[in-house]
Structure 1
Amino acid sequence: MRIERIWDTIPFKGLYKQLMERDIIKTKIIKSICGGLILRQFPTHIVAVFGIVENEKEEVLLLKHRGRNVWMFPGGQVETGENLIEALLRETKEESSMEIEVGKLFSVSSNTSTYEGYNGYGMIPTKVIMGFTCTYKSGEFRESDETCLI
């Protein structure tokens, strides 16, 4: 086992082996080793956003998913370096070609289960999802890689 070979070069190998034998340290917790110290990794969650976009006629934007038979609100995963608002503006533009104004946060929810990945991804971690009220500003709907016309 690779972890056993690494421990032979680390000063605290005896203490680590004792803790492992007593089941005090779980291998799930240990993600990296640095200078004899055992570093634990923070949990990983996907942060995602969605928007309920309403126009001046009080109509709500629903998008038809291209690959599955579901309707959805615009939104998606927040990318590294983005804030929540930027992510929602980007995702709405990508999925519908529409410009929106993001309003108030109205929902925070989570998906606490993991599931098997797809498109080359491994296990998909848990999600924290935030929903915002939004107002339509401009643009005409155009299909995307993810959405289609009825």
Structure 2
Amino acid sequence: MRHLIGSNLLMTVGCGVIIEYNEQILLQHRKDHDVWGIPGGVMEPGELFEETAIRETNEETGLTVRKLKLFGIYSGDEGYSRYENGDLVYSVQIIFFTTEFSGEIIQSTDESHEHRFFSRNELPPLNQH
């Protein structure tokens, strides 16, 4: 798509999951923006929102999430972003919540430095996109 539109604005749909365990939230320290955020990523054509959330969470954390509940749908001015390479995007975010997951956390991936559970009152500054 980018070879057709260059760095012009592209609209995307992102899906993420808030994973809670023992009253703590799992966050990933991202490599691309050097910020903390919830696991998630961009929807592929033909996917359901839940499928995107499950796939992206597994790719980024190694965990398989289940019993997703809709947490919120986010749009508005905060959805605009410019990537390091100059590409412009506008992202609508579909966020889910779960306490049901299995697997072992992968600490370092192509996209993450680490994953860590934080209590709600000790959350680090979060990525807003």
Partner of 1:129: 93
Structure-to-structure mapping, 1:108-119, within 5 angstroms: 108-112=73-77, 114-117=80-83
Match of 2:13 in 1: 47
- Report the Cα distance in structure 2 between the residues aligned to 1:68 and 1:116, rounded to whole angstroms: 11
TM-score (norm 1): 0.60
Identical residues among aligned pairs (%): 33
Say which SS state the counterpart of residue 94 (structure 2) adopts.
Answer: strand
TM-score for both structures, normalised by structure 2: 0.68
Name structure 2 gaps, 5 residues minimum: 1-9, 116-129
Where structure 1 has 5 or more consecutive residues not aligned to the other structure, the ranges are 1-43
Kept in 2, the 8 Å contact 1:66–1:146? The answer is: yes
Query: Matches of 1:125 and 1:46 in 2, distance apart?
Result: 7
Bigger Rg, which one: 1
Question: Is the 1:111–1:127 Cα contact (8 Å) retained in structure 2?
Answer: no
Partner of 2:59: 94
Query: In the alignment, which residue of structure 2 is the partner of 1:71?
Result: 36
> Hey, which of these two has a bigger chunk of strand by percent?
2
Aligned residues: 105
Aligned-residue offset at 1:140: 1.4
What is the CA RMSD across the aligned residues, in angstroms? 2.4
Residue 81 of structure 1 pairs with residue 81 of structure 2:
no
